[in-house]
């Protein structure tokens, strides 16, 4: 990962939940930076989500504080006070208003945040602030993740090199609604906040909002896009301009990579599965079919077993709730192998051809609904023994 001018990251080991590893991340932003954010739509959203959502509208953020191992969710008024106390501690050390600090937490729900432990090591995190801290931060924000997730993409826009670097975490309780578990993306481009917010919402809708590991939306989901304005390129302030389109493509590449990385590292996952639904009447019905397949335990366990049990996919399409579905027009494919047509098994299909596809680490399930011209796709994974083990043992 390449540094982004105007962003520094520092980490420390607070012992919030994990021992002998960094679990606290501080991100410092240039005073000219703009910030966009999207947050979980879960009604029981965590205290840091409530506070961060308020603060981002009150002042220009200067610091982001992230802790791993404790979600500070389901903690009532004390949880709010704890999140604010952490913001106050950062503001005192950083010389800014507490409203300029955004808190983020991830981990176990229902336990109070050990504020004293966090405050005690904040000086360590401040001293560690560096533009080259992305890799350390990617590790520090992990919970049940097995690998850190980060990427840099660069592009030449009108003779100026623009950098976009991002990190993300989250491999369980993943079915985002407005954001991923936690993701931080930064660029040195200059963009007004309103346009940056549009960019993030559009990019999240095509990436983080198209993934599902287990169908659960977290209480703590948050995704942040920072624009420091430290590049030599003039401000991008027109959504219709070529400069914006090139920049948006760059951001989309980063968040799509991160979204897929979450699925690849899904708790116990062994396969990255793309579910593509085509020839629908609307995107809504395409998404409905895609998520019905992605959330089916029977489909997901068949994928884990490398079992081409296509009847489970057919059944999921049928129960997705589409009105007046003509099953005779529906076609279902595993990669390029047609498994269903004319209401039943395709005449060319053989178990051996299906098995060849299911033995792969990456599989695409494609559905042709035969009733329109709209298409959509999402990414998911299989459901393994390890997913059950990891979540059964999560608090032990």
Catalytic residues: 180
Contact of 151 with 10, CB cutoff 8 Å:
no
CA distance 264 to 380: 9
β-partners of residue 186 are: 165, 226
Closest residue by Cα to residue 5 from 166, 188, 162 = 188
C-alpha radius of gyration, the chain, whole number: 22
Contact of 289 with 322, CB cutoff 8 Å:
yes
CA distance 107 to 24: 12
Report the relative pairing of strands 337-341 and 7-12 from DSSP bridges. unpaired
Contact of 339 with 365, CB cutoff 8 Å:
no
Contact of 303 with 318, CB cutoff 8 Å:
no
CA distance 132 to 2: 7
Contact of 383 with 291, CB cutoff 8 Å:
no
- Written as six digits, the tokens of 233 are 């390129």
Beta-strand ranges (E) seen in the chain are 7-12, 24-29, 34-39, 63-70, 101-108, 149-157, 160-169, 182-187, 211-212, 222-227, 272-280, 331-334, 337-341, 344-345, 362-368, 374-381
CA 353 to chain centre: 34
In the chain, DSSP finds a helix count (H) and a strand count (E) of: 11, 16
β-partners of residue 168 are: 149, 183
Beta-strand ranges (E) seen in 147-290 are 149-157, 160-169, 182-187, 211-212, 222-227, 272-280
């Amino acid at each position: 990962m390449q540094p982004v001018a105007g962003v520094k990251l520092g980490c420390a080991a607070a012992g919030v939940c994990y021992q002998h590893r960094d679990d606290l991340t501080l991100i410092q932003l240039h005073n000219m930076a703009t910030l966009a954010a999207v947050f979980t739509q879960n009604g029981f959203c965590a205290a840091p989500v409530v506070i961060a959502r308020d603060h981002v509208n009150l002042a220009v953020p200067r610091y982001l504080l992230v802790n791993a191992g404790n979600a500070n969710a389901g903690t009532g008024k004390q949880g709010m006070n704890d999140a604010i106390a952490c913001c106050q501690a950062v503001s005192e050390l950083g010389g800014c208003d507490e409203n300029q600090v955004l808190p983020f937490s991830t981990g176990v729900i229902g336990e109070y945040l050990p504020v004293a432990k966090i405050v005690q090591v904040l000086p360590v995190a401040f001293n560690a602030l560096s533009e080259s801290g992305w890799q350390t931060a990617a590790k520090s924000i992990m919970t049940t993740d097995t690998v850190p997730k980060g990427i840099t993409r660069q592009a030449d826009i009108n003779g100026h090199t623009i950098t976009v670097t991002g990190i993300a975490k989250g491999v369980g309780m993943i079915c985002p609604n407005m954001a991923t578990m936690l993701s931080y993306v930064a660029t040195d481009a200059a963009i007004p906040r309103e346009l940056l917010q549009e960019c993030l919402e559009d990019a999240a809708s095509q990436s983080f909002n198209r993934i599902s590991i287990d169908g659960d939306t977290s209480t703590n989901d948050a995704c942040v896009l920072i624009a420091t304005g430290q590049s030599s390129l003039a401000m991008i302030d027109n959504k219709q301009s070529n400069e914006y389109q090139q920049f948006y493509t760059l951001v989309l590449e980063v968040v799509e990579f991160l979204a897929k990385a979450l699925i690849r590292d899904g708790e116990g996952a062994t396969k990255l599965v793309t579910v593509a639904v085509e020839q629908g009447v609307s995107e809504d019905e395409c998404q409905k079919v895609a998520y019905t397949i992605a959330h089916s335990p029977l489909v997901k366990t068949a994928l884990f077993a490398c079992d081409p049990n296509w009847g489970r996919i057919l059944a999921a399409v049928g129960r997705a709730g589409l009105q007046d579905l003509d099953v005779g027009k529906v076609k279902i494919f595993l990669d390029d192998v047609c498994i269903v047509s004319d209401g039943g098994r395709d005449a060319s299909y053989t178990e051996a051809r299906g098995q060849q596809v299911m033995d792969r680490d990456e599989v695409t399930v494609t559905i042709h609904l035969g009733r329109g011209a709209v298409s959509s796709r999402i990414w998911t994974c299989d459901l393994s023994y390890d997913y059950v083990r990891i979540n059964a043992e999560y608090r032990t």
